[in-house]
Structure formats: structure tokens, C-alpha cells
Amino acid sequence: MVRHLYVHLPFCASRCGYCAFVVEVGALEMRDAYLDGLCRELAAERSRLGELETVYLGGGTPTLMRPGRIARLLDAIRPSIADGAEISIEANPETVDRAAFDALRAAGVTRVSIGAQSFQPELLSALERGASADQVRRAVACATDAGFASVSIDLLFGIPGQTWRQLEADMAEVRALGVDHISWYELEIKPGTALARMGAEVPDEDWAADAYEMIVARLEDYGYRWYETANFARPGHECRHSIGYWSADDYLGIGVGAVSTVDGVRWRNSTALAAYLGEVTRAGTPGRTMESLDAGTRRRERWMLGLRLDQPLDIAWAGPPDHPEVIARLEAGGLLTTAAGRVSLTRRGRFVQNAVLHELMEYA
């Protein structure tokens, strides 16, 4: 039975320069119809749901649904939600205020993840973000005051044009805010995004490595645990929903473009809003592209995901690597450590996970 539920809420005011997600710009008049669609898909999938330990409302800009619709959505899910469940929502700073956060709290949300990305006006505009640095600070303050169990912010580094000084300035802001959880990603320039069309380039490996190492060292210094490749938390504030992904747990995703993985089958829902709505209305479930995961693929995914975490990976659970003989060499080279049938990457190893994975496994 599935214990993690993801709900995709695609509406956005505009598309950001780096965004390649399934989003729906404008079309706010569709929100009620979409909520109905979600409820239909949920009803159709109800039998797969066990006691939900986590629910994650992602987007898009979920907060554009306004608290009233979020409350109705969570009401619909509630019969499956376990006591003490983590219920997260992503929030864009320019779409929330204290009242909105209070309402979300009242609707049952326990964790809010605020998309800051940066506090530097030039970089926010390079990313085509809708919020100003002040709005970000205010949103974090409101969320903290509203009393959520955890408040997280998202940040980016490696933004085209970003200087070391700007990175340091973002770090100082993060330190001052003192949130419970931080996700700090290296910007990827994905095909089809505005940044890609502009021919933006990522910084070279050495700059990016310096930045990444600095981020890890400082945040650890400030009392955060580097519990996943790009995620940092004060003890007890790790995102349980995400840990589910990295532990290769099954999860159900509902909504347009949402992905599910259940019993070795992965599927993605229709990615166009109109198609999704038409299909759930007609059939209860949307159109889906299916991918069947064989044993080898699942084993390679468990390694790919599991090594992202700082917690050791249990080899017996994950299944043996394709090249067990290289473990000793990697260990001698200071990239990983083994103990009692468990393997974990060293600090250096975590920065070069892909290269380590290619030594251990045959991704082909």
C-alpha cells in the first residue's frame, strides 16, 4: 500500500526562465474544474492508498489554488492520512501572506517550502522570478510566525552571471533567516527553457565545486545536517516525503503530469491540462505513459537514489552492485566507506556521485 502521495498543482502566473516543469500559465478560471479532476483521480486510486505518512502539494505554484481549495483537497485526502503525517506545500513568496499561511495551517498543512532561489535582485530577474528579495524575507517571517512544524526555503547556485560575492550574500541571508530546512540546488539549464534559448552557460566545474563545497561547509557550520545531495535540515526537520523517494518507496502522484511508482511500474499522467481533465471526466483516471521497471533497473535506481543520502545504504536491501570488485578501490581512494554490509559515500564521494555510480553500476 502506498504511503506517500504527491499532488501536482500546475497553475503559475508566469513561467520562470529556468523552469521545465509541467505548468499552466494563466488559466486560473480552470482551478475549480481541476480540483474536481483531482478528486476524481483520487477516488479512482483510493484503493492503492494505505495510511499516508506524507502528502506533498507541489507545482506549479500550489499557493495560487488559494487556501480554500487546498482545504477542500486535503479534506478529500484526509480519510487516508495517518496521524502525525507530514503535509507539505510549496509556496511562492509573492502569493502568500500571514492570513494565507494561517488558513493553510488550519487546513492541516504542517510544512511549507518557500521558493526563494536567491535574494539578489539581479539574479531574481535573471531567473525571471516574480518575487522581490523583500517579499521572500516577509514570506519566511510570516510562515515562521504561522507556526508550521517546518519551514523550508529553496535556493539556487550557478545562476548565469552569479558572482562569488552574490553567493556569499545569499548565504548571509540564509543564516539570518534561520529556517528549519534548506534545499540548495545547482541550476540546471534544461532544453526548452528560456535560459537555454538565450544560450546561458553554467559555470565551470571548479567554480561550481567551490560554491557547492562552501554551501555544504557553511550550512553544516550553522547546525544543518547535509542529509541529501542538495538538502540540509536541522535535526528532526528532514523532509519525510522526499526521503521516501530516495528510499525507493512506492508513491502515488495525482494531477496533470504527475508521476507514480507502484509495485515496479512507473507511470506519468497526461501532461496537458485539457487532456487530463477530459480523461479523468470520462474515465476517472487520466491517460498515462507506463514504464515497467525490471529487477536490474530497480536495483540501479536504489543505488542512484540511496547514495544521495548521508545514511548508509544497506547492500542487502539495494541488491549487489554490478561491479562489487571496485568497492575496495573506491574505498582506498577515499570515495566511500563500508561497514557491516552498508556503504556510504565520503564527503568527497558525495560530490562525485555520478562518477562513483558509473564505477559500481552499468547504466546501459
Residues between 1 and 40 that touch other proteins (CB under 8 A): 6
CA–CA separation, 206 and 204 (whole Å)? 6
CA–CA separation, 320 and 306 (whole Å)? 13
Contacting other proteins (CB under 8 A), which of 335, 336, 343, 360? 335
Q: Give min distance, CB of 211 to other proteins, in A.
A: 9
Please give the grid coordinates belonging to residue 350: 558525495
* Residue 329, number of CB atoms within 10 A of its CB: 11
Nearer to other proteins, 136 or 258 (CB): 258
Contacts with other proteins: how many residues (CB under 8 A)?
Answer: 50
Strand order in the sheet with 288-292: 259-262, 265-269, 288-292
Nearer to other proteins, 39 or 352 (CB): 352
Instruction: Tell me the per-residue interface mask from 315 to 334 with other proteins, x by CB under 8 A, - otherwise.
Output: --------------x---x-
CA–CA separation, 236 and 256 (whole Å)? 32
HEC-encoded secondary structure of 291-317: EECCHHHHHHHHHHHHCCECCCEEHHH
Q: Give min distance, CB of 333 to other proteins, in A.
A: 6
Instruction: Tell me the per-residue interface mask from 248 to 277 with other proteins, x by CB under 8 A, - otherwise.
Output: ---x-x---xxxxx----x-x---------
Place of cell 539581479: 122
Sign of CA dihedral 96, 98, 100, 106: positive
Written as one string, the DSSP assignment of 56-125 is EEEES-GGGGHHHHHHHHHHHHGGGEEEEEEEEEEE-GGG--HHHHHHHHHHT--EEEEEEE-S-HHHHH
311 touches other proteins (CB under 8 A) = no
Nearer to other proteins, 60 or 312 (CB): 60
- Helix, strand or coil for residue 270? coil
Residue 337: its H or E element: strand 336-339
299 touches other proteins (CB under 8 A) = no
Instruction: Tell me the per-residue interface mask from 162 to 191 with other proteins, x by CB under 8 A, - otherwise.
Output: -----------------------xxxx---
Contacting other proteins (CB under 8 A), which of 247, 337, 346, 353? 353
Contact 195, 17 (CB under 8 A): yes
356 touches other proteins (CB under 8 A) = yes
**Choices 79-87, 106-114, 201-209, 278-286; region in contact with other proteins by CB under 8 A:** 201-209
Residues between 100 and 129 that touch other proteins (CB under 8 A): none
Q: Give min distance, CB of 205 to other proteins, in A.
A: 6
Q: Given the rule CB under 8 A, which residues bind other proteins?
A: 6, 185-188, 202, 204-206, 208-209, 212-213, 229-230, 242, 245-246, 251, 253, 257-261, 266, 268, 291, 297, 300-301, 304-305, 308, 329, 333, 335, 350-359, 362-364
